[in-house]
Structure 1
Amino acid sequence: MLRPDYFDIKPAINGIGEVVGRFFRGMHYLYRVRLPSGAAIWSLQHHTRNYPVGTRVSLQIMSGHKVLCFGNNPKLANVE
């Protein structure tokens, strides 16, 4: 499982994801994005990124984050 702040989403007509939920949290929005497989991820975005439910989005894993689920393996600890 990856944290919501690991994912960057941006509107894209041919994006692989669709915003299916949006929750305003003051300083940010927490988006629920459905993937083609039917699975969904959460994405934490700055409050200026206001995407309505139904928006198609591209999805990118942000580089440089430590991914704790890979433990001490230095080759897997950073998402690049």
Structure 2
Amino acid sequence: MTNKIDPSTLSGTELLLRLKYAKDTLATSSPEALQEVVLDEALPVYEDAIKVSQSEAGSYAEMLLLQERARKLVEAVKQAQKNKGTQ
């Protein structure tokens, strides 16, 4: 009797080859096992996306602070010019 292999442990290419040429070597796996494999592969991508969005949010917040500082500097210069004209 041939040992059955869990399809969730195979690479995509090997799984396709076994499905086409050696279907009897594949064990029937539960949908939960396949779901776990997909989630395990998706988790690092999700974590990377979170890091990127946190970095972008930090950059956006920094940009807003710089814009506010520039606006205050412009106001200060305008006020200084206005005060200089009244002296």
**Range of TM-score over shorter length:** under 0.3
Structure with the bigger percentage of strand? 1
Structure with the bigger percentage of helix? 2
TM-score, reference length from structure 2:
0.19
Bigger Rg, which one: 2
Q: Which has the higher contact order (CA 8 A, sep 6+)?
A: 1
